Structure 1
Amino acid sequence: MDANNTYILGIESSCDDTSASVIHNGKILSNVVANQKIHEEYGGVVPELASRAHQQNIVPVVHQALAKANIDKKQLSAIAFTRGPGLMGSLLVGTSFAKSLAMGLNIPLIEVNHMQGHILAHFIDEKGFDKPEFPFIAMTISGGHTQIVIVKDYFDMEVIGETIDDAVGEAYDKSAKILGLPYPGGPLIDKYANEGNPKAFQFTKPKVDGLNFSFSGLKTAILYFIQKETAKNPNFIEENLKDICASIQFTIVTILMDKLKKAVKQTGIKQIAIGGGVSANSGIRTALKKAEKTMGWKTFIPKFEYTTDNAAMIAIVGYLKYQNQEFVDESVIAQARYHI
């Protein structure tokens, strides 16, 4: 085991993106992601189609990651893979491939929790990006997850708030669907929101105790509002799209920020790191930057390519676990539900 010359291959296949990444002593050499366009026509991820696409993509993606990193597979020190949480069929493809390759190369195998990946992506050596100091509060926001976590150390994390129903990314995508926008609609709501009036329409914020979230009621409120207004004026969406998007975004960002403020008040921790696909949202980024000035927070937002599902975040966790020699054997199985 050469700690000064560690190459880890990371593999991520939890949902609909197949990704492979090579990390060398904490520095990313390659991060290849194959997106699955097939789900667009269905307006959401179809699990069966996702796992089939992973089977087609995984070999070329891993090959490309090694080629871009300019290393031979024989130089790899270990293989890290996403064990869960995620779609079972998708996870099985990555898990099986990682196990087979590790066995073939006779190198260690490292399992990674996808949610820890989103949080620990902040520790990738990236020029111009600071790393948070322990303890810090992490908020992971994506299509499948919304969590507030106290991070005391790399692998000492405590979930103090999470969604009791739908994730924030789902709220964005379903709202976009109601407005007739194509999937994935979250980025489109963000785009139109920047040109609209956030106070144009008011949506009731769900009342949820503590630091937990709920977004299903908000989705229903948006649906009823649109149905009511389009019954009066069939062109309502078309005429007010930017204002509707701005109002939806304002409501969602307010919900997230209210819970974060509550978490800071409860814990006294003022270092905030966000991760997950929705952390690319401009409204959330703006609100966090504002909180730095008004609340005295120090906020950390990872490089854009490390926010969505990607293997670089799996590789950094693999690298950190490799240093502790936290390996698993071939009996390891994927877990659709896998808590931090």
Structure 2
Amino acid sequence: MKLIKKNIIHFQRYRYFVMKKKTIILGIESSCDDTGVSIIQNRKVLSNIIIHQKIHSKYGGVVPELASRLHDQNITKAVQQAIFSAKIHRDRIDAISFTLGPGLIGPLLVGASFAKSFSMGLEIPLLTVNHVQAHILSHFIQNANINNSYPNFPFLGLVISGGHTQIIKVNDFFQMEILGSTLDDSVGESLDKIARILGFYYPGGPMIEFFSKNGNQKKFIFSKPIVSGLDFSFSGFKSDVSQFIKKKLKKNTLFVKQNLSDICASIQNIIAEILLEKVEKAISQTGISRIVLAGGVSANHEIRRLFMSLSKKNKKLEIFIPKKEYTTDNGAMIAITGLLKYERKLFDSIHITPYSKFKTFS
């Protein structure tokens, strides 16, 4: 009886797969402190659920053990919400994709364990995703960027987030080459550390952006790191800001409070200029005129403004900027990457293991 029932289920799935025209992928993102689950049908997002972990703000940064426990608590709920919001039955899901790395190993293992169990339970393919690659490929979600169009290959991807700052040459969906990377802190990490100096809670980057809106971005001048090639460095810049603040506070204990907007605007402007100058150098070296921004820091209004102004000055340049819901870590970017792998039959083994440090693109 069990065998007959199993064969009926397989036949129903096969018949549905043959009759339907659109592929449905569930994506799970758990590389840091947000539990993201999304369901897409072809390139259209049906649901995109993100459960934030607010507890880390009291510690000044993400606590890996806490993050792992909360992912474990939230992941089932997030998947159920995603399926409910997508208005589908779970048996309609063709494959499940999840973040394999890089990221915090504990949270990655939670996501991997759930995805493997889901794959085995529904007998559907498993697709692993490189987190950095997914940020770039989020632009291939339907209407995911402000252009409402897909970038043509080749293009240059600028990935700027809490964990990564890289310029990547993208020749095809899964043919990527790193041209430049940070030698120390990422741009997002630097903003968070500077924010702590200013007295902000974690995450501090959005707070700097908020207070910068009414500030004079030319009021204070900070040094730009001199780094050869297309690599980045932000540790020296961070130290320069820290020393500047400490020096001013010795003379006037109210200096930060009295000049907060101008300080934030000046910090933000220098960082945006550093990123823009490196991208302009990459354009000159490669001759590629399409630029794709990706990652959480690409939501920053000053960075977006500078890159949009660049495209207005040079009509030959195409700048692709993600809509804000697709900048931070989310399940949709994992689902679209999974879909692209599914279409190419790039399936993965149930025995594959997550990794914490960045590996070359496969």
TM-score, scaled relative to structure 2: 0.92
Equivalent residue letter for 1:56: Q
* Residue 281, structure 1, aligned to residue 269, structure 2: no
2:66 maps to what in 1? 49
Deviations 1:52-74 (A, max 9, x none): 11000000000000000011111
Give the deviation of 1:198 after TM superposition.
Answer: 1.1
* Residue 233, structure 1, aligned to residue 252, structure 2: yes
CA separation in 1, counterparts of 2:148 and 2:167? 21
* Residue 334, structure 1, aligned to residue 354, structure 2: yes
1:302 maps to what in 2? 322
Deviations 1:151-204 (A, max 9, x none): 111111111001010000011111111000121111111121121111111111
2:51 maps to what in 1? 34
Equivalent residue letter for 2:108: L
Give the deviation of 1:130 after TM superposition.
Answer: 1.5
Equivalent residue letter for 1:6: T
1:90 maps to what in 2? 107
Give the deviation of 1:295 after TM superposition.
Answer: 2.7
Equivalent residue in structure 2 for 1:181, among 178, 190, 200: 200
Equivalent residue letter for 1:7: I
1:266 maps to what in 2? 285
* Residue 322, structure 1, aligned to residue 331, structure 2: no
CA separation in 1, counterparts of 2:58 and 2:82? 29
Counterparts of 1:1-340 in structure 2, within 5 Å, are 2=18, 4-126=21-143, 129-296=148-315, 297-339=317-359, 340=361
1:81 match: secondary structure: strand
Q: Is the 8 A contact 1:4 1:25 kept in 2?
A: no
Structure 1 alignment gaps of length 5 or more? none
Equivalent residue letter for 1:13: S
Give the deviation of 1:246 after TM superposition.
Answer: 0.8
Structure 2 alignment gaps of length 5 or more? 1-16
CA separation in 2, counterparts of 1:229 and 1:85? 39
Deviations 1:7-58 (A, max 9, x none): 1000000000001100111111000000000101011111111011100000
1:8 match: secondary structure: strand
2:158 match: secondary structure: strand
Deviations 1:207-239 (A, max 9, x none): 111000001111111111111000000000000
Give the deviation of 1:259 after TM superposition.
Answer: 0.2
1:229 match: secondary structure: helix
CA separation in 1, counterparts of 2:139 and 2:94? 22
Q: Is the 8 A contact 1:163 1:214 kept in 2?
A: yes
Equivalent residue letter for 1:112: V
Give the deviation of 1:81 after TM superposition.
Answer: 0.3
Equivalent residue letter for 2:233: S
Q: Is the 8 A contact 1:9 1:315 kept in 2?
A: yes
Larger Rg: 2
CA separation in 1, counterparts of 2:35 and 2:322? 20
Equivalent pairs, count: 340
1:328 match: secondary structure: coil
Give the deviation of 1:5 after TM superposition.
Answer: 2.5
Q: Is the 8 A contact 1:129 1:303 kept in 2?
A: no
Q: Is the 8 A contact 1:129 1:302 kept in 2?
A: no
2:157 match: secondary structure: strand
Quick one: percent identity of the two aligned structures? 54
Q: Is the 8 A contact 1:151 1:157 kept in 2?
A: yes
